[in-house]
Structure 1
């Protein structure tokens, strides 16, 4: 299904490029100090030049790998015609601005994530630290965990992605993107972020695998891991959202597409998207059922996160990852409350939840 172009023969960064056939290649762009290792940036030929699906983390080493990878693909950064961003996270959108500066390429993103980009650029770092401290306090986090956030940027570096590039184009759900010579349709798949999109390449698979084209799945559908589903963060919006419900609905939408092959942003390409969707739906239902067992006693979101199963014991989870875990616990709580399977305990402070 794919041939490796190998490592770059010239001196420079180590580059992993794969030819996936049909005018599509992937470049593994590293994510510094992250167990995911890299983001798979896809390079797609069009009649007006290469278009990238995501760009990778904004880091000098990552930039060097992306530039060398494009050279290995027989093109260069300056030739890029456009960038389609699956979602706003910095390991996907981080280098978009730099690619645009070097090439004049346009950047396209769903409106919901474009709004997050604008808000991130307009909100001072101090506001984010205050917001995060208040949210964690309300979730029942202990004072020693919240204290560093109250100290703010005097002691801690600002969160990544606070100055991302503003997109030039809005991706509309269901639209056929304006890519001369290609048929790439946007599929809105909220959950991991409110504006996450998958991109359905409605062309026959180059190896004639059974199914309907190929799907650039971003972080929505991954072969071996489940994406983080946490709360949609917005310091100025108190809307009660249901990210996990959004994600589960979006999974079913993608499963019905039945693509011949999935091209995710992490790990590796794979087939049988409907089967993977079924696995993820079952995983989340099992997890919700497990949380109901924990909620036989009232728990705050922090207490629930401490008791949930993660990929390592709680005392080994780094500080920032604990914040992500609490957000994920809250997203699951919201799903259970919306389903009528759990409820907040009246008068509890910080708020606790219990199974119904």
Structure 2
């Protein structure tokens, strides 16, 4: 029995590591206070040392788990040769800078997300609050929802405003320069404009039928639908169609028919074409449901309130409501582009109606 008088033992973080065969392992790096729980960081052996696919959230506890996970994989953070980022979100790119500092590793990212990273580093937090307040007001959000962004104290910096600048650009369709491996970049915009999946063009270690393995980031997940909202960037006013981008990207990935999918959340799975069909059907059903709601003119906020989520609107936290409105707007843009909905002339805030 411990009497509390001796030296305290070192408390090592709990680490979940899986050996996926073929020189690939996963480390579950926790995301603090997030229902997703963790990001699966993949550790891939190369002839020059381990290369990571994503790195996890920038948090001391998450860093400790990543370091311990690499040790459990038989290597160390100082041995990392490179970091390949599927997209710029902080639960994927957050620890990249610390990994580079500890190892001298390069960081690779698609140019579209690298541009967001550069602009984020140059943008003051107050600019983001002002931008989000203006967007929510234009979407018809009530004043009591916008007020904390517009008038509240700026005590908390939004995550992801000081991400590491990448050293290399991921070029769609090209093999990454990983000695001893065949890893090809597949551009899959939708979740972010520069999201990439990574096709490991090597025989599956268990010889499952299909074409290699696919590191899918957030593009293709086994049980949940990735968030598809507007591409948030206060310094870029381009009118984009994220949902259209995503649906096109889904079909591209389905045609690859990998033997196994290695996503950034939840767990690995097979039958990528089947999962793609499920997601395409889900979004078609959701668009049809929104057209029913849009029989009467609605603002994006009003539409979000009426949409089906995984819980009643009254139980959705403040930040998640902002994400929901962005998702409603992405679906509205798709309907407008398809000619199935239109903005009501002269409405302020703007409302939309089915055509």
How high is the TM-score relative to the length of structure 1?
0.96
| Structure 1 CA distance for aligned equivalents of residues 119 and 101 of structure 2 | 22
Change (3 A) 1:6 1:112: farther
Q: Is contact 1:300–1:353 with CA below 8 Å preserved after alignment? A: yes
Q: Is contact 2:126–2:154 with CA below 8 Å preserved after alignment? A: no
| Structure 2 CA distance for aligned equivalents of residues 275 and 225 of structure 1 | 14
How much has 1:8 moved relative to structure 2?
A: 19
Deviations 1:105-125 (A, max 9, x none): 000000000000001000111
Change (3 A) 1:41 1:53: same
Q: Is contact 1:110–1:171 with CA below 8 Å preserved after alignment? A: yes
Change (3 A) 1:118 1:355: same
How much has 1:156 moved relative to structure 2?
A: 4.7
Q: Which runs of 5+ in 1 are unaligned?
A: none
SS for the counterpart of 2:129 is helix
Q: Is contact 1:6–1:17 with CA below 8 Å preserved after alignment? A: no
SS for the counterpart of 1:331 is helix
Change (3 A) 1:270 1:237: same
Change (3 A) 1:4 1:86: farther
Deviations 1:285-304 (A, max 9, x none): 00000000000000000000
Q: Is contact 1:130–1:152 with CA below 8 Å preserved after alignment? A: no
Change (3 A) 1:5 1:116: farther
| Structure 2 CA distance for aligned equivalents of residues 143 and 211 of structure 1 | 52
How much has 1:63 moved relative to structure 2?
A: 0.3
| Structure 2 CA distance for aligned equivalents of residues 292 and 6 of structure 1 | 68
Query: What's 2:162 paired with?
Result: 163
SS for the counterpart of 1:216 is strand
Change (3 A) 1:7 1:273: farther
Matched positions, count: 355
SS for the counterpart of 1:263 is strand
Q: Does 1:265 align with 2:264?
A: yes
Change (3 A) 1:82 1:269: same
Q: Which runs of 5+ in 2 are unaligned?
A: none
Q: Is contact 1:7–1:15 with CA below 8 Å preserved after alignment? A: no
How much has 1:234 moved relative to structure 2?
A: 1.4
Query: What's 1:204 paired with?
Result: 203
Q: Is contact 2:189–2:245 with CA below 8 Å preserved after alignment? A: yes
Q: Does 1:335 align with 2:316?
A: no
| Structure 2 CA distance for aligned equivalents of residues 165 and 84 of structure 1 | 12
How high is the TM-score relative to the length of structure 2?
0.97
SS for the counterpart of 2:114 is helix
| Structure 2 CA distance for aligned equivalents of residues 63 and 164 of structure 1 | 15
How much has 1:239 moved relative to structure 2?
A: 1.2
SS for the counterpart of 1:173 is coil
Change (3 A) 1:4 1:248: farther
RMSD: 4.9
| Structure 2 CA distance for aligned equivalents of residues 143 and 115 of structure 1 | 32
| Structure 1 CA distance for aligned equivalents of residues 7 and 351 of structure 2 | 53
How much has 1:151 moved relative to structure 2?
A: 2.1
Change (3 A) 1:128 1:212: same
| Structure 2 CA distance for aligned equivalents of residues 90 and 73 of structure 1 | 24
Change (3 A) 1:179 1:90: same
How much has 1:137 moved relative to structure 2?
A: 0.2
Q: Is contact 2:228–2:243 with CA below 8 Å preserved after alignment? A: yes
How much has 1:209 moved relative to structure 2?
A: 0.3
